[in-house]
Amino acid sequence: MSQHLAIHWAITPEIAPRPLVHCNRCSAVKAYRCSDKFRVNANGKRIDVWLIYRCIDCDNSWNFGIFERCNRRDIEPTLLTALESNDPTLARRHAFDVVALRNRVGRVEEFSDVAVQKRSLGERGATTLEIRLGLEMPTSLRLDRLLAGELGISRSRLQALEEKLVLTVFPEGAKALRKPAREGTIIRIDLAGEADREVIISAAGG
């Protein structure tokens, strides 16, 4: 029987952060959703590029600046083509840049909804489970909520396992389970003494 089973979780956020902006039509601060569309304005050799957002209530537009008064020669042709064609991958990358959004507007609404794809890196029959996290984009989802939801066990049990040193998070840190899931995090759980070991391993993707 193998003593160790590693499983990779590829985590993809499903809802982009929404900046909280004062809407002129609603006369109030509203959440704005990304339209996945760019607006490119060329004035001679200078180019301005914005990612367009829409008020969730009235559809009023708000522009999130990507390039401002930028010389055309400073933008790679392939990038400019992607902007002009509303490349969805590029739009998604900018839409999930919560740091840039906060720098622009201050307040941003974040969501913890994620999709998880699991890939086993070994054979079943293990007593120790190792989960390796890979994140496409940063997420605000707490690690204990992610594990509880995907493994089908309570957060209080996860806490108890951690206190018994049966569950370990690498790299180690204070209250790691209560912090957002991060790229490269490894969770190791010794399931030798757990009656539902096979159920947990199956839920993990083993």
CB atoms inside a 10 Å sphere around CB 36 = 16
pLDDT score recorded for residue 124: 65
Tokens representing 191 are 């399931």
pLDDT for 92-130, tens place per residue? 999 999 889 999 998 999 998 999 999 998 766 678 999
* Statement: residue 163 has pLDDT above 60: yes
Mean pLDDT of 74-82: 93
Please give the model's pTM, rounded to 2 decimal places: 0.80
* Statement: residue 172 has pLDDT above 90: no
